[in-house]
Amino acid sequence: MYIVIGGSAGSFQAVTALLASIPRNYPHTIFLCLHRLKNVRGGFVEALSLKSNIPICEPYDKDTAMPGVAYLAPANYHMYIDANNQFSLSTEEPINHSRPSIDVTFCSIANTYKENAIGILLSGANKDGALGLKAIKDAGGTVIVQSPDECQVKTMTSAAIKITEVDYIMLTNNIIDYLKNL
Amino acid sequence: MDEFQTIPYEDFRKIISTVRTLRNIDFTYYAPEILMHRITRSMYMHGVQTSDRLINKLMADNYFADLFVSELFVPTTEMFRDYSMWKFLEDNIIEKLKNETLCKIWVPQVCGDDELYSLLTILHRKRILNRCTVYATSPIQKTLNDAKSGFIDQKKIEISTANFKKIDPEAELSHYLTKEDKYDYFSPELLNNVIFLKSGIESSPPPDNGFNLVLFRDRMLYMNAQTKKAVVDTIAKTICNGGFFVIGIRENLANCDFRNVFIPVSKSENIYIKIQK
């Protein structure tokens, strides 16, 4: 399966908890699209890697995605994935004031992996990710939203719930159980 | 319709084919995922609901066809994007080029073009611009005209100024800009040093050879792997031994097998030097 996680303001805690719970040699591929500072290239991978059991890396353009690795969208680039599991990075205009945009990555994952995609949307302060999550659902994938009650900022998750009949609204701990049992 | 809506692959092919017929530009070299988004984004922006309507509009409206094609290219984002690269370029590469009597520089596929303006700024700061021949090329006349005009989107000024300050806290980007009817333009005086040529890197011969520097950042992102390899091959032949090749910080030459042609000067900034074969 191909798991894509999007998050913005207030999502760091949940993302680190998810990554810490994923076992070594995880058979699935993980994509992370998190809003981040545009001009700060270093530090984020290192911070996420502190508790993670699986390697985390920022892909270069045309790199191939492999199972058991979490790929973080690089600062100031949109991240697409094509049918050959190859990354396409882009400096296109920001979407929802964001580059990387969660909608871009989610829609790309939806187009490429269809029913094999699992989209997870976490805390955030704008509506980026809502359309992308809908695209995953429409393409036959599974969509999960962090419970807005648990989110530090619920704008993003509420926007997604408003336009998509999501499969699960879950607390972080339940998302962890879901991912472990995949 | 939203800008992420996909169109059937057959329609996608028809649109590319129409563009090729109308404007002699071949987008089959483009990274398909991104091209699909560029097309649907443009359709969304112009309120064109279906692929058939788009094709009809392209064929009936010359102005729209030019606009649409120019929108398929991704513009540069800001001046001095990745400011640490520009700092490295100014302090290490341009500093070395100061020893050359004459310098040839090529900026292929201009689109925007903040990269060109940033380069001209540091060449001027290093006082070698008058010894440089700078070529800026693009297959699209509109993007060339835009680059030539020096127009800079107001929204980019703040971030560009902040980036420039990171390179030199004392420097003022405003010294390189002029204002006309409330709009900002890059210095026409510096732009006079540029030769603008309509030329597609994947389809036309290079404007010259023996280049000391080719600045080609974040342009290969939009090419498929095969075209990328061919383009790097073309560029490699135009760079003189000891000349420099600069690519975007998340691009790589790994799949191009150019280990015997280029070696990195700075891995983190993705700057390469051509070595004697």
pLDDT one-digit tens code per residue, A20-60: 999 999 999 999 999 988 878 888 999 999 999 999 999 99
Q: Which class for B231: exposed (0-12), middle (13-18), buried (19 or more C-beta within 10 A)?
A: buried
> For tokens 């051509």, what's the residue?
B274
Determine the residue of chain A that is closest to B220 in CA distance. A61
Does residue A61 have a pLDDT over 70?
A: yes
| Average pLDDT, integer, range A102-108 | 96
Q: How far does the CA of residue B29 sit from the closest CA of chain A (Å)?
A: 14
CB contacts, 8 Å: A111 with chain B = 6, 33, 36
CATH fit for domain A2-180, picks 3.40.50.180, 3.40.640.10, 3.20.19.10, 3.40.50.300: 3.40.50.180
Considering only CB atoms, B77 lies closest to which of A91, A95, A107, namely A91
CA atoms of A79 and B204, how far apart (whole Å): 30
What's the pLDDT score for residue B277?
60
Binary contact (A60, B221; C-beta < 8 A): no
| Average pLDDT, integer, range A118-131 | 95
Q: How far does the CA of residue A7 sit from the closest CA of chain B (Å)?
A: 19
Tokens of B23: 């404007």
| Average pLDDT, integer, range A77-91 | 95
Q: How confident is the model at residue A113 (pLDDT cuts 50, 70, 90)?
A: very high
Binary contact (A90, B32; C-beta < 8 A): no
Considering only CB atoms, A89 lies closest to which of B37, B84, B221, namely B221
* % of chain B beyond a pLDDT of 90: 73
Considering only CB atoms, B252 lies closest to which of A61, A82, A91, namely A61
Residue B11, number of CB atoms within 10 A of its CB: 16
**Domain extents for chain A?**
2-180
What's the pLDDT score for residue B181?
85
Q: Which class for A160: exposed (0-12), middle (13-18), buried (19 or more C-beta within 10 A)?
A: buried
List b or e across B257-276, with b for residues whose CB sees 16 or more CB atoms inside 10 angstroms: ebeebbeebbeebbbbbbee
CA geometry: angle A44, A87, B260, nearest 5 deg: 95
- B36 close to B10: Cβ distance less than 8 angstroms: no
Of A39 and B103, the one with more pLDDT: B103
CB contacts, 8 Å: B218 with chain A = 91
- Please check whether residue B37 touches A, CB under 8 A: yes
CA atoms of B162 and B226, how far apart (whole Å): 37
Q: How far does the CA of residue B40 sit from the closest CA of chain A (Å)?
A: 12
Q: How confident is the model at residue B5 (pLDDT cuts 50, 70, 90)?
A: confident
Q: How confident is the model at residue B3 (pLDDT cuts 50, 70, 90)?
A: confident
- Residues B206-262: tens digit of each pLDDT: 888 899 999 999 999 999 888 888 899 999 999 999 999 999 999 988 777 777 899
> For tokens 């659902």, what's the residue?
A137
Does residue A130 have a pLDDT over 90?
A: yes
- A53 close to A17: Cβ distance less than 8 angstroms: no
Domains of chain B: 9-72 (no CATH), 83-274 (3.40.50.150)
Tokens of A135: 């695209």
| Average pLDDT, integer, range B98-117 | 92
* CA A104 vs CA B205, B219, B248: distances in Å: 35, 19, 20
CB contacts, 8 Å: B77 with chain A = 76, 91, 99
| Average pLDDT, integer, range B134-145 | 92
CB contacts, 8 Å: A104 with chain B = 4, 37
Tokens of B171: 């420097």
B205, amino acid identity: P
Interface A–B counts its CB contacts (< 8 A) at 78
CA atoms of B179 and A91, how far apart (whole Å): 27
Q: Which of A8, A52, A108, A123 does the annotation list as catalytic?
A: A8
- A22 close to A49: Cβ distance less than 8 angstroms: no
- Residues B19-49: tens digit of each pLDDT: 999 988 888 888 888 999 999 999 999 999 9
- A80 close to A100: Cβ distance less than 8 angstroms: no
What's the pLDDT score for residue B265?
95
CA atoms of A164 and A145, how far apart (whole Å): 10
Determine the residue of chain A that is closest to B36 in CA distance. A108
Tokens of A74: 């690089």
Chosen for mutation from A36, A38, A60 (greatest number of chain B CBs closer than 10 Å) is A60
